[in-house]
Amino acid sequence: MAAAVVKVLESEAAVAQKLCEIVIEKANAAINDRGVFVVGVSGGSAAKFLCSGLPSATTDWTKWRIFFCDERYVPYSDPECTYTIFKDGLVSKVPALANLIYPINTDITVEEAAEDYLKKIRSVLPGNDIPRFDLLVLGMGPDGHTCSLFPGHPLLKETSKFVAPIKDSPKPPPSRVTLTFPVINNAACAVFASCGAGKADILQRVLEGGDGDPLPAAMVRPTDGQVIWILDSAAAAKLKNVQKL
Ligand SMILES: O=C(O)[C@H](O)[C@@H](O)[C@H](O)[C@H](O)COP(=O)(O)O
């Protein structure tokens, strides 16, 4: 397990640009090596950053397979739906992706949607082993959550389900579908993008530790992969010990 790589940039715009550069670099390397790039994306500012920078990138979009690290169990017509954010912000500009992005099915129960989502992942990453994503693009909430994995929630300890439903998310909406830690920590790479002074204290706890149980974002430690944090200087302001590259 490699130490986290932390990159600190001056502005949010620079963080967005760097995130997109890393995603494209990972995509083109995976396509070159294996002919496919399997990525998980997230909502929040990560979605905004990806939709701003990716459409103009040079890559073979037909080799991309885009999943959601977590998704809110809301209709596609709801502005809170992360799939719709990517449909409008990325797929509308890159039509080749139209059938290569995998939304959760909200016409079935959230439990069924989680099971169905694992089947969708298996259609691209077949077998019985833990699915291995090339890249997961993650965000971290102000409470240290990532995906729909919240501090103190029993789902942090989930080991039998690779994709889980949650019906009591402390952040609305309460019902969601999320990857669990066995899958997250089997990824080849996880990259976080976090900006703003509001993230400084929680980032210090996540990256430099503290008393008590580790926060969910600190539990992202792929066993055979890397973790990259891309921060703006406001978010990184309270870090003392991490090696900033
Ligand atoms: O599902 C959600 O409710 C959000 O997508 C959420 O999990 C978000 O990813 C984080 O709160 C980080 O968001 P920011 O990077 O925008 O702070």
Of 52, 140, 195, the one to substitute when testing ligand 1's pocket (max ligand atoms within 8 A of C-beta) is: 140
Q: What is the residue with the minimal CA distance to atom 6 of ligand 1?
A: 44
If pLDDT is split at 50, 70 and 90, which confidence band does 212 have?
confident
User: Is the CB of 139 inside a 6 Å radius of any atom of ligand 1?
Assistant: yes
Count the neighbouring beta carbons within 10 Å of the beta carbon of residue 99: 9
Count the neighbouring beta carbons within 10 Å of the beta carbon of residue 235: 26
Q: How far is CA 164 from CA 24, 161, 169, 226, in A?
A: 28, 6, 12, 23
Q: How far is CA 30 from CA 175, 179, 242, in A?
A: 33, 21, 29
- Calculate the CA 223 to chain-centre distance: 17
57-104 pLDDT, tens digit per residue, is: 999 999 999 999 999 999 999 999 999 999 999 999 999 999 999 999
Residue 150 lies in a domain: yes
| Euclidean distance between CA atoms 83 and 227, whole angstroms | 24
Q: For residue 149, what is the domain's CATH number?
A: 3.40.50.1360
Give yes or no for residue 209 having a pLDDT over 90.
no
User: Is the CB of 109 inside a 6 Å radius of any atom of ligand 1?
Assistant: no
The count of structural domains within the chain is 1
Residue 162 lies in a domain: yes
User: Is the CB of 44 inside a 6 Å radius of any atom of ligand 1?
Assistant: yes
User: Is the CB of 45 inside a 6 Å radius of any atom of ligand 1?
Assistant: yes
Contact between 231 and 203 (Cβ < 8 Å): yes
36-50 pLDDT, tens digit per residue, is: 999 999 999 999 999
Q: Any idea what DSSP says for residue 212? A: S
Residue 80 lies in a domain: yes
Give yes or no for residue 210 having a pLDDT over 80.
no
Contact between 132 and 182 (Cβ < 8 Å): no
Residue 123 lies in a domain: yes
Q: Residue 67 contacts by C-beta under 8 Å, 6 or more apart in sequence?
A: 38, 39, 40, 41, 102, 117, 120, 121, 124, 133
Residue 240 lies in a domain: no
Give yes or no for residue 244 having a pLDDT over 90.
no
Residue 114 lies in a domain: yes
Residue 237 lies in a domain: no
For residue 146, the enclosing domain spans: 5-232
Q: Of ligand 1's atoms, which has the minimum distance to the CA of residue 199?
A: 17
Count the neighbouring beta carbons within 10 Å of the beta carbon of residue 10: 10
Give yes or no for residue 1 having a pLDDT over 70.
no
Q: Of ligand 1's atoms, which has the minimum distance to the CA of residue 142?
A: 11
130-159 pLDDT, tens digit per residue, is: 999 999 999 999 999 999 999 999 999 999
Instruction: Please report, rounded to a whole number, the percentage of residues in the chain having pLDDT higher than 70.
Output: 98
Residue 157 lies in a domain: yes
In single-letter form, the type of residue at position 74 comes to V
